[in-house]
Amino acid sequence: MARGILVVCEQREGEIKRATHEALSEASRLAAALGGEVAALLIGDKVKAKAASLAAFGAKKVFVADDARLGGYAVEAYTNVAKKVCDDFRPDFILLPATALGKDLAPRLAARLGAGLASDVIRTEVTDGSLVLTRPIFAGKALLSLKVTSQPQVITLRPKVMALAEPDAALTADVQDVALAGLLDTIRTTITKTEKATTGRPDVSEADIIISGGRGIKAPENFKILEELADLLGAAVGASRAAVDAGWRDHQDQVGQTGKTVTPNLYIACGISGAIQHLAGMLSSKCIVAINKDSEAPIFQVCDYGIVGDLFEILPLFTEEYRTVKSRG
């Protein structure tokens, strides 16, 4: 029987990320199957007011590390805090979202704990009292089922894959402050400033709809065709590595093996051939629509709907039709 499950939460500017709620939802399901208690660790500056809200997704305890020095993510500081909470709470399982933050923090925490790490997990299941994990390998071409034999186990969960539980506002949690004495005194790096794009569109890693462009876009100014439809749909604009390497889009928009892994409800690939490196980042999308002039493009082997044609003719038709439908209410 498990002693407990600890979810390391992710927040940005005081707002808890959806990926954290998904991790808590999955932790609650595992706790029901394995026994034990679900706890959450919330790190940041002026975040204590958000601690109680984590109870709605199943956290029975919330450890809060609230300090001005923790306002920006710094892996050394976060690792020190997480290590202390793990030493005190002694969880059998430590869950983190497989976001940029989680992917950075999880291996460092696992090394400090001497624990095994399973990354980018897309399914968990309890078999004969043991936790069996499934994750993609070989750039998403195969799935691997595995067991982590260490105690504790560190696991990162791919965002937007685990089912989100219905929050229960009636639930409460025991909120405890983390004693930070000595944990932050020797930190060698601090975040002094953070700059972020102000496009008004969602980040590709969190968006429900993504419209991505590749080499077939031909020039950076042609992304305005994608942006026009994206703004109508409330979608994010992504890009293939070819488009990013050409300097047409920022790296933060890149989807793929060397970019971001996304799991939107709808992914529209425009002028993207479908190299395996790109597919590795978007193959978990619920519905994939491909637009490409090359009928032999690999993207057509994995898409749900494929259109062979010129994206510069097809995409404006999409935009105009959706604008007409939207105007009708």
pTM equals 0.86
Angle, alpha carbons 207-25-125 (nearest 5°): 105
Could you report the per-residue pLDDT of 147-162, keeping only the tens digit for each? 999 999 999 999 989 9
What lies within 8 Å, CB to CB, of 96 at 6+ separation is: 7, 8, 10, 23, 102, 105, 106, 154, 155, 156, 157
- pLDDT reading at 140 higher than 90: no
DSSP annotation of 150: S
Q: Which of 78-92, 116-130, 191-205 is least confident? A: 191-205
pLDDT tens across 208-237, in order?
999 999 999 999 999 999 999 999 999 999
Model confidence at 44: pLDDT above 80: yes
Domain spans, the chain = 4-177, 209-327
CA distance 275 to 280: 9
Would you state the pLDDT for residue 2? 52
Report the CATH number of the 4-177 domain.
3.40.50.620
> Residue 50 above 70 pLDDT?
yes
- CA atoms of 303 and 280, how far apart (whole Å): 13
Give the architecture (CATH level 2) of 209-327: 3-Layer(aba) Sandwich (3.40)
246-299 residue pLDDT tens: 999 999 999 998 899 899 999 999 999 999 999 999 998 999 999 999 999 999
**10-43 residue pLDDT tens:** 998 889 999 999 999 999 999 999 988 999 999 9
209-327 shares the fold of 4-177: yes
